[in-house]
Structure 1
């Protein structure tokens, strides 16, 4: 048998070259993974060692846009004029979320926002938070499905009295809430039955705050550390109690923040069903781009 030495040498060289390339790529990937891990660890250590920002510093930070949604459905003739602000059609909701994705927004969750406000941690470019109040089923079937399409995550403020209820409006089940949590969304508190925070009695801190927190933690297996006020209404003299009951931050609507407790009066705006995607983009920039970077 005649052996072609030239061809054999070329084949051997090629095999060695690809082996070397493979090893090199593997080493580079391992290095990149290690660097990412180290960066993650360093960030956690730095955050733990930093002194938390005071209220004045938190208020001076540029606000992150936070959107609020309630019902994602088509409006009915029987709906009141006031209810129209809380209703957005599925088609419009999808258009608005697509606009956010196309405009380069990246969703953030409450822990990220908290670390930014308190420790100055970095956020992705064009951060935005998308929140849902009241536990409506359409937030799961339409809201969550749409967010997933664009790689977005959301915050679901749950009113626990409604879990699993069916009727003119259907509400999310325990299984839905658990799935949202398992998929990386944040489950947070919105009281037991939507009682106005400004009217809380001593007993309400158990029935409207502690018991709903416990129930949500049993469903998700995770701590519940964020709260949204029903109607967006708060009472300044009670804000300190939220921290005492385990909350790291709380969300209002578009009224002014409290100068002493800015973490417990983080602003949101409602995305009304009458808005076009262009209207929403304008509203976000008008409402949240006033404070300093």
Structure 2
């Protein structure tokens, strides 16, 4: 999977504009446009951040919570490559997948809840799951968020700040609206630069400035991070900690027992998957 990610996810930066098919006026839609079939969840408790050393062995021993990762939610086009379709969940399929999760009794949780569970042993709702979205795509706001609202689902949106306000990407106002609606906004660097290559001024460009911008937009502290391409290294984790992050998400590689909170696993909900395949993957991947 890592080879695929390195080859394909650069599509998620500037080239991904060509993979979008949203009309310009679609960004006028708001989260209140869709009717809600389920009451929205109550606000999740904030992370009770440990003051001293954490019990890493205890974290590794706890059952993993399934975490799904999405990029584009749109219908395939003739120009989409076979590999790119892994990262493009078609609209009808996304709606079917959300309904399947709701019908199967899953309850979405947010990162601070996950932290409290892993570090402090706090309880979680039955069949917890986390929905995460990378790269700031407009369709995450216009399609994914309204569909999630039908079931009272909340998600985590990892924002790549270079894209904010560009065609086919979310605006500052949309990001603020997602945050105000109870979703979590996380950092995903400035322009999707490989985390393993960060050095010198990269920390300011890729982490400090984007984090400050997101905090200005949301009015909230940004404490969660997602690695571009899912790639990370142990040398960079102390830099995230120094900047106030309390956890970070990779993709499908094994967690690092020395840094379990900064190597939280996710799996892609592939554009090729049926609801049955997704259900089985959730059950067997975590």
TM-score scaled to structure 1, two decimals?
A: 0.80
Match of 2:157 in 1: 156
CA contact (8 A) 1:53 1:119 kept: no
User: Does the 8 Å CA contact 1:177/1:187 hold for their aligned counterparts?
Assistant: yes
Unpaired stretches in structure 1, ≥5 consecutive residues:
1-39, 289-293
1:265 alignment counterpart: 263
Shift in Å, 1:231: 0.5
1:22 corresponds to which residue?
Answer: none
Per the alignment, in what secondary structure is the counterpart of residue 256 of structure 2? coil
Give how far 1:76 is off. 1.3
Counterpart-to-counterpart distance in 2, 1:74 and 1:101: 22
What SS does structure 1 have at the residue aligned with 2:144?
helix
Q: Distance in 2 between matches of 1:155 and 1:60?
A: 24
The corresponding residue for 2:176 is 178
Alpha-carbon RMSD across the aligned residues, in angstroms, is: 1.8
User: What's the counterpart of residue 254 of structure 1?
Assistant: 252
Q: String of CA shifts for 1:114-140, please: whole Å, max 9, x gaps.
A: 111110111100000000000000000
Instruction: Give the drift of 1:81.
Output: 2.1
2:276 is the alignment partner of 1:278: yes
Query: Across the two proteins, how many residue pairs are aligned to each other?
Result: 243
CA distance in 1, matches of 2:53, 2:144: 34
Corresponding residue of 2:111: 110
Q: Is the 8 A contact 1:197 1:234 kept in 2?
A: yes
- Asked which structure has the greater CA Rg, the reply is 1
Distance of aligned partners of 1:55 and 1:196 in 2 relative to their CA distance in 1, 3 Å threshold:
same
TM-score by length of 2: 0.82
> What is the rounded CA distance, in whole Å, between the counterparts of 1:225 and 1:51 in structure 2?
17
Describe the superposition over 1:85-137 as per-residue Cα deviations: whole angstroms up to 9, x where unpaired: 11010100000010000000000000100111110111100000000000000
- Output aligned runs, 1:1-293, within 5 Å: 53-166=54-167, 170-288=168-286
Q: Distance in 2 between matches of 1:101 and 1:160?
A: 31
Q: Which has the higher helix share?
A: 1
Query: Which of structure 1's runs of 4+ aligned residues deviate more than 2 A?
Result: 47-53
CA distance in structure 1 between the aligned counterparts of 2:273 and 2:258, rounded to whole angstroms: 33
Contact 2:50 2:119 in 1 (8 A): no
Does structure 2 conserve the Cα–Cα contact (< 8 Å) formed by 1:135 and 1:163?
yes
TM superposition shift of 1:50: 9.0
Which structure has the higher relative contact order (CA within 8 Å, separation 6+)?
2
2:144 and 2:201 mapped to 1: Cα distance?
A: 34
